[in-house]
Amino acid sequence: MGPGGVFLVHSAYGRIGEFDVGGTEIIGYDETSGAYRSHFFDSQGNVTVSRLVADGDTWTYQGDTTRSTVEFSDGHRVQTVLHERTDDGTTYRTSMQVTLIKVE
Which 3-state string (H, E, C) describes 44-57? CCCEEEEEEEEECC
48-73 b/e (C-beta count within 10 Å ≥ 16 → b): bebebeeeeeebebebeebbbebebe
pTM: 0.82
Give the Cα separation of 54 and 57 in Å (integer).
Answer: 8
**pLDDT 10s digit of each residue in the chain, 104 long?**
666 777 899 888 887 788 888 899 999 998 888 889 999 999 999 999 999 999 999 999 999 999 999 999 999 999 999 999 999 999 999 999 999 888 88
